[in-house]
Amino acid sequence: MPRDDATKPRRTYPTPDWQRRGADCVWLPYTQMQNAPTPLPVVATEDVYLITDDGRRLIDGMASWWTACHGYNHPHIRQAVESQLAQMPHVMFGGIHHPQALRLAERLAELTPGDLHYSFFSDSGSVAVEVALKIAVQYERNRGHVGRVKFVTFRDAYHGDTLGAMSVCDPVDGMHANFRGYLLDHYSLPIPKSPVEQLAFEHFLLEHRRELAGVIIEPMVQGAGGMKFHSAQTLAAIRATCERLDILLIADEIATGFGRTGRLFACDHADIVPDILCLGKALTGGTLSMAVTQVRPLVFKAFLSSSGPPGKIQPLMHGPTFMGNPLACAAANASLDLFESEPRVQQASGMEAVLTNGLEPCRNLPGILDVRCRGAIGVIQVSQLKELNWLRQRFIDNGIWLRPFGDIIYVTPPLSISPAQLEQLLTATVKTVREWCERVSVASDGD
Ligand SMILES: *Cc1c(COP(=O)(O)O)cnc(C)c1O
């Protein structure tokens, strides 16, 4: 058999009954499987579109959970991954260097705020958070502070689904009730916004200093915990407090990194440098699973044997099998090329005004509590997400893909979306939300 021509992109189409046959065998995320609505059958992507097996093209208003920052199937990323696949799909990172990972590490050191110089690669955001937490604990231990193992985290925080990451999520909103006794105990505080709250925050840290390994925050925008915003001043004040008290600050920019908030990194809004930074989601331009935990020399040096008495300093105890995967690194390098060659961050910052104007008509609809936008994030907060399945289906019927959850309907489109596509997305969003509000308010009139 002749080999396929590798230069030509090839589309494969599944058998007609693929969905019916396989649906019975998969377990969906966060889904009651008893009577889950049938998921959207997507067989291809292109630009900002999801293409279904019956040929419908939906504008993806979610950028596949914030990952597809350049839209889908960008030829530059595809070409980079294809040549890497031909050259070397994977090698272990233990004892081996390879060009894609080293190039990526060097570029991230350059691009990220301040002196965040060292990259530890992993395979998903949750793992990057686990690594950050472990680094902080081992950092304190290497400095001779045994017992500094607790973290301060914030209300509405979301940091991932693995044990350590789940433990620093919002304890009410998060999954704590399901895992009582299994999760680790940390301190969840409101984000200190006023000077009085900031003083109380500082007192809390002082009081608990001996047991704390760090503070973890999603800078500027808390994502999956409810899309809450705080100001650059608030972020700067938290940074300053941690600095004063010599407590590590971990910035989880897995969602906000790579332009989403209108700056390349959310920390840039406040001009701060966290001690540890987590990146993921858009890192590979929405193609492969990869994340990174970056640290400053201050942190890195505490792991060098020369920094303590003989035999006392332990190396970082982590190492995922697919760490530094060359395909994912190639995708990430190609994605960074696009941030250099295309006006991605300007598109994101410019989107804030368009989202604000476009979603404004929702503000006065019944049951809508708030409309807020930052960068390429538009949020409609509702009093209650009734008839959620109806709403989700209605978005699809109106030609767009959105996935409201909790008490919010939100849009986070690919940063590369064109003005016309964005207008189409926002028009369909407002139309659908209006239809939903009418339906829900009529239903509650009848109660
Ligand atoms: C998505 C997300 C994570 C988890 O990343 P996964 O790749 O899903 O494990 C962690 N923190 C934040 C802020 C996120 O948005």
**Nearest protein Cα to ligand 1, atom 7:** 125
CA dist., res. 42 & res. 38, Å (int): 12
**Nearest protein Cα to ligand 1, atom 11:** 159
Task: Tell me whether residue 49 is one of the annotated catalytic residues.
Answer: no
**Nearest protein Cα to ligand 1, atom 5:** 125
Residue 174 is predicted with a pLDDT of 66
Q: Ligand 1 test: best mutation among 64, 129, 217, 258, most atoms within 8 Å of CB?
A: 129
Show the CA angle centred on residue 274, arms to residues 272 and 280, nearest 5°.
Answer: 110
Residue 178 is predicted with a pLDDT of 87
Helix (H) or strand (E) holding 49, with range, is strand 49-52
Residue 7 is predicted with a pLDDT of 54
pLDDT tens for each residue of the chain, 447 residues long: 445 555 555 666 677 789 998 998 999 999 999 989 999 999 999 999 999 999 999 999 999 999 999 999 999 999 999 999 999 999 999 999 999 999 999 999 999 999 999 999 999 999 999 999 999 999 999 999 999 999 999 999 999 999 999 999 999 876 788 898 899 999 999 999 999 999 999 999 999 999 999 999 999 999 999 999 999 999 999 999 999 999 999 999 999 999 999 999 999 999 999 999 999 999 999 999 999 999 999 999 999 999 988 889 999 999 999 999 999 999 999 999 999 999 999 999 999 999 999 999 999 999 999 999 999 999 999 999 999 999 999 999 999 999 999 999 999 999 999 999 999 999 999 999 999 999 998 877 654
How many residues does the structure list for the chain? 447
Tell if the pTM clears 0.85, that is, is over it.
yes
Structure-token pair, residue 363? 């503000």
Residue 121: closest CA among 136, 131, 135: 131
Contact criterion met (CB below 8 Å) for 240 and 230: no
Question: Ligand 1: which atom is nearest the Cα of residue 162?
Answer: 9
Residue 446 is predicted with a pLDDT of 52
Residue 226 is predicted with a pLDDT of 92
Task: Tell me whether residue 158 is one of the annotated catalytic residues.
Answer: yes
Task: Tell me whether residue 118 is one of the annotated catalytic residues.
Answer: no
DSSP states of 394-418: HHHHTTEE---BTTEEEE---TT--
Residue 1 is predicted with a pLDDT of 44
Residues with CB under 6 A from ligand 1: 124-126, 129, 158-160, 218, 223-224, 252, 254-255, 280-281
CA distances to 115, 135, 174, 236, 445 from 324, in Å: 21, 18, 30, 32, 56
Residue 310 is predicted with a pLDDT of 87
Contacts of 394 (CB under 8 A, 6+ apart): 432, 435, 436
Contact criterion met (CB below 8 Å) for 100 and 330: yes
CA dist., res. 292 & res. 282, Å (int): 11
Ligand 1 centroid to residue 126 C-alpha, Å = 5
**Nearest protein Cα to ligand 1, atom 3:** 160
CA dist., res. 350 & res. 352, Å (int): 5
Ligand 1 centroid to residue 160 C-alpha, Å = 5
The residue type at 184: L
Residue 128 is predicted with a pLDDT of 98
Task: Tell me whether residue 30 is one of the annotated catalytic residues.
Answer: yes
